[in-house]
Amino acid sequence: MRIYRFLPILLLAACQGTDDQTDTDKQVEIFTWWTSGSEAAALETVLDAYRATYPEVDLINASVAGGGGSAARPILQTRLLGGNPPDSWQTHHGSELMEYYVTPDYVASLKDLYDAEGWYELFSPSLVDMISRDGEPYLVVLNLHRSNTLWYNKPLLAEHGIVIEDSLSLDELLGIAESLQLANIPAMCMGDTGIWATGIMFENTLVGTIGPERYLGLWDGTTSFTDADVMQAIENYGRLLDHQNKDHAALSWDQAAKKLGDGDCAFYSMGDWVYGELIQNGLEENVDFGWVAHPGSDGTFLLVTDGFTLAKNAPNPTETLDMLRIMGDRVVQEDFNLLKGSICARTDCDRSRFGPYLQWSMDKYAEGVAVPTVIHGSAAPPGFQQALNDALTNFVVRRDHQAFAESLAREAHAAGFGQ
């Protein structure tokens, strides 16, 4: 009997439930590997901008930890194969986008969005080209990261009487490393629980040793992995490995960035997501840390982009397109990149909002030769990227130069671009 007394309340609750249901019916799921302090903070700026405009939509931030996407990509593949795609996911331009997602038809064209937003005028033609096939763009690109930067702890080097000017040669770096070794300080910071992180130091050393043209030749078969200059690059990489912190295999890339900031190691050859992390840890550029191009790679810009897709048959296409529109917004790109340590993909961002490092990166991008990275999936097919990671895992432990070079030459040949 008592139930009747509560009937009006129950009916009201049921009605409210239906209303809530309608509200939460609207959702959008974004899949990334941005979980380090700076990555998560930068992503939040984008999500906040979306929430401010679309407060009624339930935003699902599906991030899978693991720098470079090493853990996220296999999980995403399983979801795509199972017909359960997120609405949008993070990926890099070039091979990764094309071979993992465009060829198997997992992504929808964004041409209408580009036309409607006037983005063909606001993103450079070369960038649009990198994310298009047959004239159809498949990504909204948020940022341009530079992968070949050498970071250093300024006070630590000053303590040892070392001042770094505008550039540093490999011999100078190795000379400093020897003197730091006498003081028991590892020169090179490394955190390679994800093997891709040491892969960056390899790739940076490779391009710094053989130059951008010969580096590009690796991906069209005009340079062989067993050529003398590539063997020299492997040798140089090995010499840098000799100076890395002993606990490198137990640390992630961002833990190594923390180590750099704390002065437990001196240099870090790593993409400029490190800038984001150092700033996030409260350090000040040009005071607590400095940077130069990785030795030998001054005129080269190893380019890493982060872009977002629209899933074919996305569960929530309208909300996803709204999200992509927000990602392409100028102010959103500025806010995001200030925290992420990258420069805008759009060409009309306000330069004066950015500090010395990011302005340096803008100039280097404008003046230099931009080349794709293999470690971040852009330069070579995914099979070769995996083979390189395996070869690196062996090399870091065994240091067999010849076996390393030969395995890469074999894999390049198998992938169809080697000699």
- Indicate the residue whose CB is closest to ligand GAL: 67
Which 143-172 residues touch ligand GAL, going by CB under 6 A? 145
Nearer to ligand GAL, 142 or 412 (CB): 142
Interacting span for ligand GAL (CB under 6 A) from 31-39, 93-101, 216-224, 225-233:
31-39
Q: Are 142 and 345 in contact (CB under 8 A)?
A: yes
Answer yes or no whether residue 93 interacts with ligand GAL by CB under 6 A: no
Interacting span for ligand GAL (CB under 6 A) from 17-25, 61-69, 158-166, 259-267:
61-69
Least distance to ligand GAL, CB of residue 386, Å: 15
String of contacts with ligand GAL for each residue 357-396, x by CB under 6 A: -------------------x--------------------
Interacting span for ligand GAL (CB under 6 A) from 62-70, 111-119, 243-251, 362-370:
62-70
Q: Using CB atoms within 10 Å of the CB of residue 11, give its burial: 0 to 12 exposed, 13 to 18 middle, 19+ buried.
A: exposed
Answer yes or no whether residue 67 interacts with ligand GAL by CB under 6 A: yes
Binding-site residue total for ligand GAL (CB under 6 A)? 12
Can you state the percent helix, strand and coil of the chain, rounding each to 5? 55, 15, 30
Taking Cα atoms as reference points, which of 286, 298, 305 lies closest to residue 367? Answer: 298
Taking Cα atoms as reference points, which of 246, 283, 280, 279 lies closest to residue 263? Answer: 283
Which 266-305 residues touch ligand GAL, going by CB under 6 A? 273, 304
Nearer to ligand GAL, 29 or 272 (CB): 272
DSSP string, 30-72: EEE---SHHHHHHHHHHHHHHHHH-TTSEEEEEE--SGGGTTH
Least distance to ligand GAL, CB of residue 348, Å: 22
Say how far apart CA 396 and CA 72 lie, in whole Å. 24
Cα distances (angstroms) measured from residue 34 to each of 22, 27, 118, 273, 336: 30, 20, 28, 11, 12
Answer yes or no whether residue 69 interacts with ligand GAL by CB under 6 A: yes
Answer yes or no whether residue 68 interacts with ligand GAL by CB under 6 A: yes
Q: What angle do CA 306, 331, 344 make, to 5 degrees?
A: 35
Cα distances (angstroms) measured from residue 380 to each of 100, 218, 377: 12, 9, 6
For residue 203 the two structure tokens come to: 């790739």
Taking Cα atoms as reference points, which of 276, 24, 34 lies closest to residue 146? Answer: 276
Which 107-146 residues touch ligand GAL, going by CB under 6 A? 145
Interacting span for ligand GAL (CB under 6 A) from 33-41, 132-140, 258-266, 403-411:
33-41
Nearer to ligand GAL, 234 or 345 (CB): 345
- Give me the residues that bind ligand GAL (CB under 6 A), please: 33-34, 39, 67-69, 145, 253, 273, 304, 306, 376
